Each structure stands twice: as structure tokens, then as C-alpha cells.
Chain A
């Protein structure tokens, strides 16, 4: 039995980590009332950035480049949506397309269109002494690449920051009533810009995780919709950091189930398993009928500049 359960937990965490990273970033963005559909683009850009940064330079630089690449995508979003007040949904969609085209073009240009798998350093598992030897959950939870531990720390820190600091309070207020926040002396646009940038960096890190801690290589379009799934996870997680991590785990578990089923000999066409995350997202969005908990100004056009 343990030889089904342990891999199941491991697969759950593995799937959940990049989703949680991206979703935690998007959580901050959505708490200011914006939706960054370009998150998918940030993740893909981060994946490519990781490839470029790590080739010959090591994992750390790989992750740094991943975050930087995500940051660039976010910067464009800030310029268009926060500064020029362009439509956020279309800008985000365009950014995702731009990222797909740009990473594809750059990849083929820099690494040849043969698509040969490149070998780049991977982020090895770092067992936490003591905890890693716990039965059943030890290895899956505590023998993970460092980026996973980063998520374990990030979520509670964000939760504390949102609830217990004035900056967190300000962020929450912006998402509900930006005019109230402004009248209280908060620099609303600056906060939005910062949230988007942080969200982009975290999205980039998510892409970096895919490359450096999972696949070990880059493939065009490898984000495969994770940015959109992350947006669903934010809604499912009721726009709170701990909820988001929980929802990411739920997704991880559901995806991991497919391996369990396959191991147990269930014979469905493999495309069904591939489609599971997307169907699950749809179900999650339909079920996240707690619209009352969403930031009140979510997705609304930004007020005109003074």
C-alpha cells in the first residue's frame, strides 16, 4: 500500500508546487482588483528564462533568470494596464500570446529548431534531517528541492502580511474600494504595480520550477495552461494564502490520481488524463460560487487617472 501512497503524495506535491507559486502571486494581484491573464505568459517566460540562466551557470542563476523573465512580462502588464489603463483581459491575453511567440522564436533561434533535449543542471532534492524520515509523508513533504520549502514558508508569511500589516490592509482595501484606499492616503497605483510585479516574479519562478526541478529541460508551450489553472486556484482558495495552497494541493492530488489509476491498471485513453487538469479547473471555477468573497472591484476597469 505504501508504494502507492508515497508516490501519490510525491506526485501531489510535485504538481502543486508550481501551481501554488503562481497562484500565490496571482492572489496578491487579484487582491488589488486586477486579473492577470498574462500569468501564463509569465510562467512560460520564466521557464525559458530558467533554461537560459541555468545553461552553464547553475540552478540558482536559473531561478533568478526565471523570476526576472516573469518580471519582464509583468512590467509590460503594468505599463499597459496600470499606466495606460488599457483593458486588462485583452492585454493579458496578448501577453500570453507574445510570450508563446517570443519564447518559441528565441528557443529556436538560440538552440536550433531541431528541438533536441538540452541538459541543464537540475535542482536536487534536499532532505530535511529528521523530518524526511517520517513514515509515508516524510519523503514526499520533506525531501524536496528547495523551491518547495520556499512555498511552505511563503504561504504563511503572506497570510500574516495580509492580515497583520498596514500594507496588507491597504492591499485588501484597494481590491474592494480603490477610491476609499486613495482617500485614505494610499498610493493605489503603486501598490497595484508592485503586486503585479511580485505576481510576475512568482509566476516566473513557477516556470523555473517546471524546468529546473521537474522536467529538466525546456519545451515550447510547456506551461500548458498552468497560468489559467492558477487563476482558478485563487478563486477556489477563496483569495487567502492558506486556501490557495490547499486548493493547489487538491489539484495536485487530482492530477496525481491519474498515475495511481494507471498503476492500478485502469485503462482509459491517455488523453483523458491529460485533460483532467483543465476539466478540474472548470469544475473548480463553477464550484467557487462564493463570489461574495472575491475582492469587490475584481476585474473592473480601473478608474481614470486624475
Chain B
């Protein structure tokens, strides 16, 4: 069902017929978006559908291969962020575009011209604090601020530049439930004041709660554009993934762990204290046990210390004090796969051989590695031409499956243990489901799995137990979404 779009209907922002190609991949194909003034417009789609790409084009950070853009009914050519800003478009990015070492005032001043008067900027920031209700300290260095506060600075930047069209890219991905709700309330008020907001999200519930209109992208195409009242969660879901999904949504694992006679503790922590690379304590006096066959979900707002906890469990970070017992070889799937888990330009075989390369001595038996890689590819359904192609040529989902295979299967020791960090970030629905299935079956086979996802729903979907990390403390909580959400921000 689509909105009839007449070119005369007033639009705040319109993108029509946008094409964008990256190498062999057609990221966007005749994509369209029509945002009415005074509305919140949800741009939905699963990971990889092209939502961010489309809005980065709108903001001038990417160039479309074809298509047209309209701002307040005028045709415009947005060739750079500066042009977008001049047209009153602001963007709050998924990964903040702030300079950590600079102050809030300096960050907000960035992009101006002429003499720099920080005092005047500070005054402007104070004014903005009052009008928006955000508490902004102009002289604080951004790196000292919480994630929620940094996001508010990002928004303030756009407002200072008099943005009347605000694009927010997955803004709630890094916020706890309570902060998310507050942000969405603010966005609603912003739109009601006559501006327009585009909310990029893959979360249905969020979109439906606040949006006036929705547009769904799938594989780079606009497959649905409608008023919020004319759609249901099911129509949106089927538009997003292209098939009816009733009842096939995976059930939670909560009841799944096989009862184990005497559950061997695979991980044991006793008054564990962890510091980060700068020596700052991130986890203090944590005490817990994780047994074989369990999937322990870590729920935490980004930056709460979960990063250090995961790496310590994976054996990549030594404790500052206390005891952490873990198997000698723990599999680790870090969230930045390209940077930390694979050698992009090397073959699949070489990437498989990477595991354990630090300890290997003597010669490399490439034939054996090749055979092993092919076996893993078969078992884990990794689609690629052969084991010899560079891993760079695989899709994100296939790369992740290979990494998972490597980390789960290459252990000779009997206690399989795996730590995964945002394992399905950037993966489409099908690959996500496959990864979830792998994790579950590994746990059923007796592996101990620690899972962190910044998406609390993914954690709840898979975990048999949940630890919340907040303010250096690690606490176990029952599988209760509300309690966990509150604990993540210290409200309970």
C-alpha cells in the first residue's frame, strides 16, 4: 500500500528515484521517501536494506548515482554536508560524529566560519539547554560524557544550525529503554512544532509508537510507504522481510537448557576487577559462575564495562585483580569483525588458520587447513566460490558464519566456550536467524556461551540467564525486560 504522491503535495524532504551502487552491489534502486512537514517519519527495514545509505545521501555524505532530492518543495543538489546544513537538514548519526577530545562548545561550533568566539557559542549552548530541556555543559569534554549525553550534543549541533529536518539514524540502539522513551518524546515534540523528523530504525515497536508515516526499504527498494494508521505490525514485518512470518518467529530460549546432572562451571569469577587500556576500572569485584550449556546474556548500555568483561572472559584481557577461571581456549566473535576477527584480504583458509596461529610451531599444512575450511563451509552453510577466495568477497552474513564456525569448531579441548559481541549487527534477517540457531545448538551441545548485544530484545531472545553491567557492578537478574531495562540505567 503506498501513499499517492503528487508532486504538489507539500513535502519537507523528498527523495525520488535514488540509485546507488557500490562496486558489484546495488545498494539502492529507485528508492523513494516522502516526508510531510510536521511529521515523524519512520524509515524501516532490516539491516542492510539501505536506510542509512539513503539518508547519508540526503545529508550529502554520499552521492547518489541517479535520482532527485527536494527540500521544502524545492529541487536541491546536496553535494556535501555543508550544503545539507545550509538547507536546514541535520543528522544524528549512529556512530556519533563528535570529536572526543574537544568540548561540547567546540563540537557545536565546528563547521562555522571566521573568528571563533567560544564564549558566544557557550551562551548559545546554554540557551539551547533551556529550550530543549537537555542539560548541556558547554565546557565538558565530550569523551567524559555518557552515551545519552553525547547523543544530546549531536542533536544540539543540528539545532544550532537551525535544522528543520532532523534525521536520526538508529538513535535508540545505544540507549537504555527509559532514555529511548525520553528521546522519542522529544522527537515527537520537535515534529509537532512544524519541523520534520526522519527516524531510521529496524525496531517495529518503536516506529509504531511515535511515527505519523512509515516507509519500508527492502534490498534497496521502497516497498511500502503509508500512514501509520494504515499499517499493522504484520504488514510491516512482511514488507521488511518479504514473506509472511506468523508464528515462525523464534521462541525464546528461556526454557531450553537441558538439565545437566552436575553442571560444570566453565567460567568462574571471584571478586574480579577489570581495567581498560587507560587504567580506568570498568568492572569491580564481580563474582559469578557460568556453566556448560548456558547462554548468559549481558545487558548493558554501551560503555558500561561490558567490553572489558567480554574480553576478559575470552581470555583477551588480564584481570586487574581477583580471579577469573576460563578454559584455555575461548572462542571470541568481536563486534568489529573486519578489524578484529578477520584478515580481509586473505583467503577463507588463511582466516580459518588464524585461530591458534600464535601458538602453532613448525610448518603449515595448507592442504589440511583447506579441507577443514571446506568442511566448516559445508556445515555452517557459508556461501563462497571456494576456500581460496579473499574473505572480503563474502557477504557480511557469510563472513560472520565462517568466524562463528572457526571459533566454535577449532577447539580440541572438550569444554567449548564462546563469547560473542553484537553477533548479528549488520546482518540481514536470514543470516541473523542462522546465527541465532547456531548459538542455540552449540549451547544444547554443551558449550558455554556469553552473549552481549546492545539490542536487549536479542539478549532476551537467546539468553537462559542475564547479567546486567552497570557502574562497574555485575548483577544477575531474572529474565524480566522491565527490570533489566531499569537496572541497565541504575533505576532499580
Contact = CB atoms under 8 A, between A and B. Distances in A.
Touching chains A and B, CB distance < 8 Å: yes
Interface of A: 163-170, 172-173, 176-177, 179-187, 296, 306
Interface string B110-125: 1111111000000000
B83 to A, nearest CB: 8
Nearest to A167: B113
Contacts of A166: 109, 111-116
A124 to B, nearest CB: 38
Nearest to B81: A185
A49 B157 CA distance: 47
Contact of B82 (A165, A167, A187): A187
Which range contains the number of B residues in contact with the other chain? 20 to 34
Contacts of A165: 114-116
B106 interface: yes
A232 to B, nearest CB: 23
Contacts of A168: 116
Interface in B92-133: 93, 95-102, 106-107, 109-116
Which one of B59, B85, B95, B102 has the greatest number of beta carbons of chain A within 10 Å? B102
7 contacts: A169-B106, A169-B116, A182-B97, A183-B81, A183-B97, A185-B84, A306-B63
B115 A164 contact: yes
B88 to A, nearest CB: 12
Contacts of B110: 169-170, 173, 180-181, 184, 186
B101 A296 contact: yes
A177 B95 CA distance: 12
Which one of B82, B96, B111, B114 has the greatest number of beta carbons of chain A within 10 Å? B111
B200 to A, nearest CB: 15
A164 B97 contact: no
Contacts of B91: 183
Contacts of A163: 116
B383 to A, nearest CB: 26
B177 to A, nearest CB: 27
A165 B113 CA distance: 8
Interface in B57-77: 59, 61-63
Contacts of A170: 110-111
Contacts of B100: 176-177, 296
Contacts of B112: 166, 169
CB-based closest 9 A-B pairs: A185-B82, A184-B111, A183-B97, A180-B97, A184-B110, A185-B111, A166-B112, A185-B81, A177-B99
Given A176-B101, A177-B97, A183 B116 contact: no
Contacts of B115: 164-166
A166 B105 CA distance: 12
Contacts, number: 77
Q: Summarize B's interface: helix, strand, loop or mixed.
A: loop
B116 A182 contact: no
A186 B61 CA distance: 11
Interface in B391-411: none
A116 B109 CA distance: 57
A172 B106 CA distance: 11
A186 B59 CA distance: 13
Which one of B85, B99, B102, B116 has the greatest number of beta carbons of chain A within 10 Å? B99
Nearest to B83: A185
Contact of A183 (B93, B106, B113): B93
Contact of B99 (A167, A176, A187, A306): A176
Contact of B102 (A173, A185, A187): A173
Contacts of A186: 81-82, 110-111
B235 interface: no
A169 B109 contact: yes
B61 A180 contact: no
B80 interface: yes
A186 to B, nearest CB: 6
Contacts of A177: 97-100
Given A182-B81, A306-B61, A164 B116 contact: yes
A94 B275 CA distance: 43
B97 A184 contact: yes
A11 B247 CA distance: 85
Contact of B85 (A164, A179, A185, A296): A185
A64 to B, nearest CB: 30
A185 B70 CA distance: 19
Nearest to A175: B99
Nearest to A185: B82
B357 to A, nearest CB: 24
B55 to A, nearest CB: 12
Contacts of A185: 80-82, 84-85, 111
A180 B96 CA distance: 8
A182 B62 CA distance: 11
A228 to B, nearest CB: 27
A169 B109 CA distance: 9
Contact of B80 (A164, A176, A187, A296): A187
A117 to B, nearest CB: 50
B61 A182 contact: yes
A226 to B, nearest CB: 31
Nearest to A169: B116
Contacts of A296: 100-101
Nearest to A166: B112
A181 B61 CA distance: 11
A176 B110 CA distance: 13
Contacts of A176: 99-102
A172 B107 CA distance: 11
Nearest to A295: B101
A173 B81 contact: no
B81 A184 contact: yes
A204 B157 CA distance: 40
B116 A180 contact: no
A264 B100 CA distance: 52
